Amino acid sequence: EGGAKEQALLPHVPPQSPGSSSQFLPASQQCPDPPGGVSKRSGKIVERLLCERAPRAVLELGTYCGYGTVLMAAAMPPGARLYTVEPNLQHASVAEKQGRGAEGGAVQVELIVGRSEEVIPQLRAQHGLHSVDFVFMDHWKRCYLRDLRLLEEHGLLADKATVLADNVVFPGAPHFLQYAKTCGKYRCRVHRASLEYCRAIPDGIAELCYNGAR
Ligand SMILES: C[S@@+](CC[C@H](N)C(=O)[O-])C[C@H]1O[C@@H](n2cnc3c(N)ncnc32)[C@H](O)[C@@H]1O
C-alpha cells in the first residue's frame, strides 16, 4: 500500500467504476497540482503535444501516483499503448488503483515496476516495445541524460520521436540539456512552466525531436 502522503490522495481517486480515462480526469483535478505530480502547466503542454503527434507508443519514466499517466492516456489516440515505469512499490500501488479507475479507456496502459536503467534495456524482449514515438521523462533529473543515451543505444527511439523532459530548469538537468542541444541528434526547445509546488519558481519542460534514427 502507498505511503501516508500518497494514501491521502486516494480520496481524490474516483470510485472504480467502468469509465474512460477522460471521465477520470475531473476527479484527479480536485487535487490541483498534486505534490510530486505533473504541474497543470506541464500537463497542458504534454496534452497538446500528444494531440498533435498522435503517438502509437508512449513511455513515461516516473509514474508516481499516476497523474501524468491518466492525463496522457486521455490524450492519446485509440489503440495506442502507454508504458509507465516506477520503482517505488508504494507509489506503484497508488498508481495501480488510479489506473483501475481509468479501465475501459481506448489506450492500453502497462505499469512496469522497476528502475528505468533496468527496464529500458528489457523493453523489447520483455514488453514487446520495439520503438517509442513519445517519451515523458519525469523521474530523477540526474537520470535524464543516462536514460536518453540508453534509449538511443537500444535503438528504441522512432524517427522524429518526441522526448519531453520536465523540470529541466529547476532543479534542472544541465548535462541533459547541453547534450540534447549539441549532439546533433535532436531539435530542442524549452517551454516555460512553473514548478508544480511553488508557482513563483520558474521552470521549464524540454521538447526534443529525434532525428538520429537515419
Ligand atoms: C516527479 S515524480 C513523477 C510524477 C508523475 N510523472 C506524475 O505526472 O504524476 C518522480 C517519480 O520518479 C520515480 N523514480 C525515481 N527514480 C526512478 C527511476 N530510476 N526510474 C523510474 N522512476 C523513477 C520516483 O519514485 C517518483 O515516483
pLDDT digits (tens, 9 = 90+) for 5-26: 565 554 444 433 333 232 333 3
pLDDT digits (tens, 9 = 90+) for 55-93: 999 999 999 999 999 999 999 999 999 999 999 999 999
Alpha-carbon Rg of the chain, whole angstroms?
Answer: 16
In the chain, how many domains are there? 1
* Dihedral sign for Cα atoms in the order 3, 85, 137, 27: negative
pLDDT-derived band of residue 30, with 50, 70 and 90 as boundaries? very low
Distance CA 168, CA 206 (A): 7
Q: What is the CB < 6 Å shell around ligand 1? A: 36-38, 61-65, 67-68, 85-88, 91, 115-117, 138-140, 143
Q: What CATH number corresponds to the domain at position 177?
A: 3.40.50.150
| Residue from 51, 46, 37 nearest 163 by CA | 46
pLDDT digits (tens, 9 = 90+) for 163-210: 999 999 877 899 999 999 999 999 999 998 765 556 666 788 999 999
Nearest CA to ligand 1 atom 4: 37
Q: Ligand 1 centre and the CA of 87: distance in Å?
A: 8
pLDDT digits (tens, 9 = 90+) for 126-171: 999 999 999 999 999 999 999 999 999 999 999 999 999 999 987 7
Determine the structural domain holding residue 141 and report its residue range. Answer: 4-210
